[in-house]
Amino acid sequence: METTEIDFTSRDRISWVTAIAFSIFHGLAIVALFHATWDAVLVAVVLHWTCIGWGIGMGYHRLHTHRSYKTSKFVEYFFALCGTLTLQGGPVFWTALHRIHHQNSDHAGDPHTPRDGKWWSHMLWTLFGEELHGDTEVLGKYAPDLMQHRFYRVLTRWHWVPLVLLGLGLLAVGGWSWLLWGVFLRVVVGLHCTWLVNSATHLWGNRRFATKDDSRNSWWVALLTFGEGWHNNHHAHPTSARHGLVWRELDLTWLQIKLLAWLGIVWDVYEPTKDQIAGKSLPLESAV
Ligand SMILES: [Zn+2]
Ligand SMILES: [Zn+2]
C-alpha cells in the first residue's frame, strides 16, 4: 500500500457538517433520556447489537477491512448496510481509515492516536480535516477491493440515507420515543463505544504482544463492543477473526462468527495457530 497522501491528522479545518451533525445527535440523545419507555429501550439494544456488533465488529472491521473470513455477497452487503446505521461513514471510508490506522499505528500519519491527545484520539479527530466521508475517489485507493463493487461505492457516497430511512420507519411505527432511542441515543452510545477502541485501548490495559504500537487489551471495552477491546491481540494478529484469544477473553463477535461458520453462512475463517501466537507473545514478566 502506498504511503498516506491525505493528511488525516490536519487540524487546520473544522469539518462543519460532522460537527453540527454530532452536536444535534448528542443533544437529542440527552432529550431521549426524558422519553424512556421499555419498548424504546429494547429497540435501542437490538439496534446496538445489530449495528455495532454486526455492522462494525463483524462487518466493517473483521470482514471489509481485514478479510478475516469469507461469506456470500448478500451477507457482506447486509453487514455493510448495518455499518452505515452507526453514522461512522460508509464502508469505503471506514475501511480506508482503519487500514491507514494499522499502517501507521501510533506513529506519524495515524488518524487517531492518543499520542496526539486523549480527546483527539477519542472524538476530536472526527471533527477536523476535509469532508471525505463520501469521497470514494480519494479513499478508494486504500480499499481497491471494495471499490470494485458498485454497491459499496454508492453506499459510501450516500452513507447517511439508510439511517434517515430507519429513523422515518421508527417514527412511523413507534413514535418519538422509538426515534429518539433507536436513532439518536443509540448512535451516540455506539459512536463512543467504537471511539473507545481508538482511545482507551491505545492507553489503558494489558499488553500480551510486543507490537510496534501502544495497543492494549481492555476487558471493559471488549464488553461494550462485542469483543473489539482485545486490541493488543488484534494489532499483533490483524487478520485473525478471533480477537479474544483465550476462553476468558470474551469475544461475542468471534462466537457469532463460529456460529455462522457452523451454519455454513461464513467460511475460510482465519485463526492464528498456537505457534504464531507464542511467537509474538511478550515474556511473562513484561506482559503487564
Ligand atoms: Zn488500534
Ligand atoms: Zn483492525
| 77 closest CA partner among 150, 132, 137 | 150
Report how far ligand 2's centroid is from the alpha carbon of 238 (Å): 6
Report how far ligand 1's centroid is from the alpha carbon of 156 (Å): 23
- φ/ψ bin of 15: left (φ > 0), alpha (ψ from -120 to 50), beta (otherwise): beta
Read off the pLDDT band of 274 (50, 70, 90). Answer: confident
Whether 224 shows a pLDDT value over 60: the answer reads: yes
The pLDDT assigned to 207 comes to: 94
Report how far ligand 2's centroid is from the alpha carbon of 66 (Å): 7
CA distance readout (Å), 8 to 2, 21, 215: 15, 20, 20
Report how far ligand 1's centroid is from the alpha carbon of 42 (Å): 31
Report how far ligand 2's centroid is from the alpha carbon of 100 (Å): 10
Whether 108 shows a pLDDT value over 60: the answer reads: yes
Mean pLDDT of 58-78: 98
Percent of the chain with pLDDT over 90: 77
Whether 173 shows a pLDDT value over 90: the answer reads: yes
3-state secondary structure of 248: coil
Report how far ligand 1's centroid is from the alpha carbon of 151 (Å): 27
| 166 closest CA partner among 188, 181, 150 | 181
Choose between 109 and 188: higher pLDDT: 188
Report how far ligand 1's centroid is from the alpha carbon of 52 (Å): 17
3-state secondary structure of 190: helix
Read off the pLDDT band of 236 (50, 70, 90). Answer: very high
Report how far ligand 1's centroid is from the alpha carbon of 227 (Å): 14
The pLDDT assigned to 287 comes to: 44
For the chain, helix, strand, coil in percent to 5 are 60, 5, 35
Ligand nearest to the CA of 240: 2
The pLDDT assigned to 68 comes to: 98
Choose between 8 and 42: higher pLDDT: 42
CA distance 41 to 236: 37
The pLDDT assigned to 14 comes to: 82
Read off the pLDDT band of 136 (50, 70, 90). Answer: low
Lowest-confidence region among 34-38, 129-133, 233-237? 129-133
The residue type of 8 is F
Whether 9 shows a pLDDT value over 90: the answer reads: no
CA distance 266 to 108: 36
What is the reported pTM?
A: 0.92
